[in-house]
A and B are shown apart, each in its own frame.
Chain A
């Protein structure tokens, strides 16, 4: 494959499959050659996945994790977009709020776990709070910067047609900033998925994160640990892939670079 030619359809699938197979082989032979008793081989993990499915715990854990992400991420969208639009629209308000936002933003949601447990106790709401915190800031920051980058021509046109400020925000500024907000939301969804797993290891007793830590704590079942990790990877990929589908919606496609 030279860099100049476009890969053919079969090559698009063939080479990634080869890479995955090589990785699996490396994993397999590493386990064999080091004769480790602790770390599972790919085959052990495959058996582990089947075992998890048969015990019916996997579906429940997946559902719990996805629910927490949906609620936490949904709240972050619901709070972050209106707040971001307002802060972007009123630079004076942004100047007041920005230092606080920039101070809280770099604090890892993991560091919030003790605080979350004080607020909400061990349970769903603590995990949802962590997901909310983790996904709020990417959405907020993307929204503020998206608003500030709305071409002045669009604002002028909106005002020319007699829109009030709330109408202008809803009908001009929001749709104009939406492509950038979507990019922020996509990053936020990725973080939400990272955070929910971390949160479930400590703040709650169900979900994929709990499955990882529980499999280790109760009997050092590393085959199940790696099986759960794989599921986390696959679901995260699926989430990102479906979210990217939104970029192809006609009313936002204009804002993405590969728009045709």
Chain B
């Protein structure tokens, strides 16, 4: 393996997000189960990071710890040098499915985190993000009348509307059919290029990771450690049949395959 085990921060400036010797141990029926072990990671502002790894390895646990929903057993997560102690509107977690509120319309969902804004400002913000995720014409629809892909776009819009610094996405397209998933990747990249937020994206789909990420973090099986970090040095839009793409994809597949054997 050409990549080193140590994570190299790609910038000279301070990282946006820093994970420092993070460890999480679950307590199940009095038995302690280590899930994450000594995770170290630095993420630059505006970077798109994908986290992959064998299923059940703790990808979501890592994301939840970074988003502040889970307090680490050891180590720490800090954002802009400030230790994360709980969830915060400055960083929003987007769930796999059923994350939008079914009792609110599209507008109501996008405006959910904006109740402190004056009415005119709020409406402007809602209209803007309706447009960003291309849900024009569905402002007054309820989630039950939307397709799975539209619901996920709505969830992303609700998250973006509060102007977060960081988006955490937990397999956001995992429950969609494969065609919708491909379309959603394009949409997410388009949105990311427009708003330039830091994104941490958990997926079990190797192609998804190579198509989206600046860097791909590979976790080992439980207890998860960072096995490798791959830099995807291909400019967007990415040609998914270029030799470099296939090379990186094979490298990742190999990594995951090895992970299964550990």
Contact = CB atoms under 8 A, between A and B. Distances in A.
Given A175-B101, A251-B103, A159 B87 contact: yes
B88 interface: yes
B67 interface: yes
A255 B98 CA distance: 13
A92 interface: no
Contact of B67 (A153, A160, A176, A251): A160
Nearest to B108: A251
A27 interface: no
Interface string B81-120: 0000011110011010011011110000000110000000
Interface residues of B, number: 21
Contacts of A254: 102-103, 142-144
Interface string A239-258: 00000000000111111000
Given A160-B89, A251-B103, A153 B98 contact: yes
A151 B98 contact: yes
A211 interface: no
A253 B89 CA distance: 29
A98 interface: no
A231 interface: no
Interface in A217-257: 250-255
Given A175-B103, A176-B103, A252-B103, A161 B93 contact: no
B69 interface: yes
A154 B101 CA distance: 7
B25 interface: no
A156 interface: yes
B26 to A, nearest CB: 16
Interface in B203-259: none
B144 A161 contact: no
B162 interface: yes
Contacts of A156: 69, 87, 93, 95
B144 A160 contact: no
B114 to A, nearest CB: 9
Given A160-B67, A160-B93, A254-B143, A153 B113 contact: no
A157 B96 CA distance: 12
B103 A161 contact: no
A153 B69 CA distance: 11
A161 B101 contact: no
Given A176-B103, A254-B142, A161 B95 contact: no
B60 to A, nearest CB: 12
Interface string B186-217: 00000000000000000000000000000000
Contacts of A162: 87-89, 113
A96 interface: no
Interface of A: 151, 153-154, 156-157, 159-162, 171-172, 175-176, 178, 250-255, 259-260
24 contacts: A151-B98, A153-B95, A153-B99, A156-B93, A156-B95, A157-B93, A157-B95, A157-B99, A159-B69, A159-B86, A160-B87, A160-B88, A160-B89, A160-B92, A160-B93, A161-B112, A162-B87, A162-B89, A175-B103, A178-B103, A250-B142, A251-B142, A254-B102, A259-B144
Report, nearest first, the 10 A-B pairs whose CB atoms are least far apart: A161-B113, A254-B102, A175-B103, A162-B89, A251-B103, A160-B87, A254-B144, A159-B87, A153-B95, A161-B89
